[in-house]
Amino acid sequence: MASNVPVKDFSNLTELNEEQKRQLSELERAQGVASDAGYRIVAPQPSAKLLSGYTIPLVGLGTWKSAKGEVGAAVATALRAGYRHIDCARIYQNEHEVGEALAAVLAEGVVKREEVFITSKLWNSDHDPARVEAACRKSMEDLRVDYLDLYLMHWPVTGNPGPTVQPPLADTWAAMEQLVDKGLVRTIGVSNFSAKKLEALMAGARIQPAVNQVEAHPYWRNEELRAWCAARGIHLTAYSPLGSPDSAAVIGRSADVPSPLKDETVAAVAAELGKSPAQVLIRWAVQRGTSVLPKSVNPQRIAANLDVVGGWELAPEQVAALDALPLQRRMVDGSFWVDARGPYRSTAELWDE
């Protein structure tokens, strides 16, 4: 790489104090930040090849529950710190702010558009095939992009009560396939799908789902689904990798449910490695081959959450200890979609358990 290429220092453009700036600079040096044509690259970052032929960086920034006025700063901080994967959804109601931050960082020359993997999701109320393209274009407009790297069917739910899902998931999927045909979306997939629902969708699909985004952490390893997807080339993305500690009030979960962030085994592994419990949980997900979406609006935590992509790893015995944690329960159980009228009369029906 040419030594005379001008390198911009963007760390002073975020609202960081001097200590945070120092930590961010140390993180960048540790991760091998390089320059090319005046923008920054953090390399190498682990990634996975998708059925579509594109690659997905394994560590992304989640934007669910990020408040208005905070999510834009978080996205800008993350991109400047080296993140190359941003996970969004229309229902989060903050895509316009994410788009403003993305446009600003692209204009600075921090990163090129083709180097950022951007995901959005089709909400339940837009499953009608006639609404799918408009919903996708709305997300693209808010995000200020002319294509999405990944577009997911957010839930196998349409909000229409009755004995069966209406419109059928297969019809919605066919409309999503057309988004690929038109060049609006590079890769399509699903979120919160069981193996049974995925298998039914795949039976009639022209383009196979490349990604299934589901909850996964040591308190809900979701191992059977992960193995099932892996055997079919479907990449698994883990949401709520820290146990979604701040979602209790949002989804009605009891605040006293145990959290993997506070687990004694996780704490012990973190102490052995000189890392935080959050870093241990994120690294565990990466070593399983899944992509992972930690969420934070704190600059220090955003930087620390990316400090799992090189230089250290969990030892086999540490992975085994996390894989043996006895408590297994969803933090986002989908009970808010249960309806006595159907199509899901219980969470068991939603998850096919």
Condensed to tens digits (0 to 9), the pLDDT of residues 212-233 reads 999 999 999 999 999 999 999 9
Helix, strand, coil share of the chain (percent; to 5): 40, 15, 45
* The one catalytic residue among 39, 83, 92, 344: 92
The Cα–Cα gap between 108 and 75 comes to 14
Q: What residues contact residue 54 under an 8 Å CB cut-off, 6+ apart?
A: 149, 186, 187
Residue 245: cis peptide before it, omega within 30 degrees of 0: no
Q: Is 92 annotated in the active site?
A: yes
pTM: 0.87
Look at residues 141, 139, 10, 146 and name the one whose alpha carbon lies nearest to residue 78: 10
**Predicted local distance difference test score (pLDDT) of residue 251:** 56
Helix or strand or coil: residue 221?
Answer: coil
* Tens-digit pLDDT profile for residues 11-50: 333 344 455 445 445 444 443 333 333 344 555 689 999 9
Evaluate whether 186 touches 147 at the Cβ level (below 8 Å). Answer: yes
Q: Is 85 annotated as a binding residue?
A: no
The Cα–Cα gap between 173 and 189 comes to 9
Q: What is the mean pLDDT of residues 326-341?
A: 95
Quote the distance between the C-alpha of residue 166 and its chain's center: 27
**Predicted local distance difference test score (pLDDT) of residue 231:** 98
Domain boundaries, given as residue ranges, for the chain: 48-247+259-351
CATH topology of domain 48-247+259-351: TIM Barrel (3.20.20)
* Tens-digit pLDDT profile for residues 181-203: 999 999 999 999 999 999 999 99
